[in-house]
Amino acid sequence: MSDTGRHRRTQYHARANEVFFWGLLVSSLFTIGAQNAQPEKNLHTIEQQLKEKQTEFQQITQREKNLLAELNTIDQQLQTYQQQLQKHQENLKQKTSELKILEKNLAQLQNTSQHKKTLLVKRLRAIYKMGKLGYLTPLLAIASYDNMQQQVKYLQLISEQDRQLLADVEQDRQNILFQKKALEQQKQDIAQTQKQIQQEQAKIEEQKIQKDKLLKAIQKDKTQYTQMIAKLETTREELEQLIKNIEDRPSVPSSRAIPAKPGKEVTLPENPEEIIEAYGKYFRSNKTKLLWPVQGKILTTFGNINIPGTKTYTHYKGVDIQAPKGTPFYAVFQGKVKYAAWFKGYGNLIILDHGGNYYTLYAHADVIMVKAGEQVKTRQLLGKVGDTDSVKGAHLYFEVRANGKPEDPQQWLAKLR
């Protein structure tokens, strides 16, 4: 769970507890006012109701925590399966390449062996034509001793070549058998790797289905939770009005910041290179100039935001940009990768250090394409949009921090049209 999510959840739960208390208190006031004759009995009843509501609230809270924990586990398993799938696919590619080399070598070996066999057949035919005496036949026709010695040496050379030719043909036969076995084994390995790929793909699909079910369950609980909070808010308002009448003093309305309206479309220019050339040397000198990290639709903006269906507000530290899964996102400015890995609440997270205590965060990525310690350039591809450890679907969470404190990203990014 991100700092934002944890902060929002803490405020959300604290607010809900407060609302439960006020709701039960107003009911107790009405009950006591109507039944002054039995104060102890009414107090006991109120205490019982309080315990029941607190138990129900804790059950809902625990249910949500359990679902989010399961969702986090599924996201990590899904990432592991995808990494295994990638390894199997790379292995398949390598084995397929090796298979082609084996087939080529086997073809060359067979051609060479066939040529040697042809030569051997010719030599056997020649020896056969010499008759039973074989190599001695030419010697018997020589009258001179010197000529005979020379002919003997020549025939010895031919004989040695014939023996070597026979040995080569036999060795080639053995090599061909070995290459064929290796070829068959390689085909079996490829078939096994393809089977493993299919199994990993099936696991990934199964995890996606399970994740979808959990998301729907969380959304259903959230809806019920929101409706319950809204009803208790009404009760709280009634109690505030009652206290006002009893104490005869005006109520002081709490001041709340008006939340920024999401829904704007983020579009990237056709000539980003020209805009980048006009950037200042340092991050701080490019306020209101930086290009957005991804193209999409703004879901949530920086600042105080209202929890749907309630009068509860919480502070959001970044901006959510909705984009299809797999959409590339980029570094808004040059810097060094300080973190590039999974982080609970953020999913696949990238943190860039731009110097001068300025940082940018990119969360919920499907794929990370940089490594910690790497220097990146402005508008360098960092990864692809995903929904890792998120209940909002595919989107990019983007945050700007100065001296450890979050700042409104829209004060740094180029103004939307």
Residue 298 and residue 387 share a domain: yes
Residue 411 and residue 309 share a domain: yes
pLDDT at 259 over 70: no
Per-residue pLDDT tens digits for 83-123: 877 877 787 788 778 777 767 776 776 777 677 667 666 65
Tokens 């060479």 — which residue?
A: 112
Q: What does the pLDDT read at residue 262?
A: 59
Per-residue pLDDT tens digits for 177-192: 787 787 788 778 778 8
CA distance 106 to 72: 51
Residue 286 and residue 184 share a domain: no
Per-residue pLDDT tens digits for 365-412: 999 999 999 999 999 999 999 998 887 889 999 999 898 888 999 999
Domain-located, residue 347: yes
Domain-located, residue 339: yes
Domain count within the chain: 2
Q: What is the mean pLDDT of the chain?
A: 70
Q: What is the CATH classification number for the domain harbouring 323?
A: 2.70.70.10
Q: 252: pLDDT confidence band, cut at 50, 70 and 90?
A: very low
Domain-located, residue 9: no
Q: What does the pLDDT read at residue 90?
A: 83
Domain-located, residue 47: no
Structural domain for 121, as ranges: 103-190
Residue 399 and residue 260 share a domain: yes
Q: If DSSP codes are grouped into helix, strand and coil, which group holds residue 366?
A: strand
Residue 387 and residue 283 share a domain: yes
Residue 415 and residue 324 share a domain: yes
**Domain C-terminal end among 173, 190, 207:** 190
Domain-located, residue 129: yes
Residue 291 and residue 183 share a domain: no
Domain-located, residue 270: yes
Residue 415 and residue 311 share a domain: yes
pLDDT at 228 over 90: no
Higher pLDDT, 28 or 191: 191
Among 76-90, 92-106, 245-259, 357-371, where is mean pLDDT lowest? 245-259
Domain-located, residue 218: no
Tokens 């036949």 — which residue?
A: 137
Q: 264: pLDDT confidence band, cut at 50, 70 and 90?
A: low
**Domain C-terminal end among 170, 190, 210:** 190
Q: What does the pLDDT read at residue 375?
A: 96
Positive/negative CA dihedral, 51, 57, 61, 66:
positive
Higher pLDDT, 313 or 293: 293
Q: What does the pLDDT read at residue 210?
A: 76
Residue 259 and residue 174 share a domain: no
Q: 196: pLDDT confidence band, cut at 50, 70 and 90?
A: confident
Q: What does the pLDDT read at residue 371?
A: 93
Rounded to 10 deg, the angle between the 3-34 and 145-247 helix axes is 30
Spatial contact of 32 and 47, defined as CB atoms under 8 Å apart: no
Residue 306 and residue 168 share a domain: no
Q: What does the pLDDT read at residue 204?
A: 73
Q: What does the pLDDT read at residue 364?
A: 94
Residue 262 and residue 181 share a domain: no
Cα separations in angstroms, 289 against 40, 283, 412, 415: 67, 10, 7, 8
pLDDT at 145 over 60: no
- Average pLDDT (335-344) is 88
Characterize 106-132 residue by residue with b for buried, 16 or more Cβ atoms within 10 angstroms of its Cβ, and e for exposed: beeeeeebeebeeeeeeeeeeeeeeee
DSSP state of 333: S
- Tokens at 198, concatenated: 């299919």
pLDDT at 417 over 70: no
Q: What does the pLDDT read at residue 239?
A: 42
Domain-located, residue 273: yes
pLDDT at 17 over 60: no
Residue 414 and residue 272 share a domain: yes
**Prediction pTM value:** 0.50
Q: What does the pLDDT read at residue 12?
A: 43
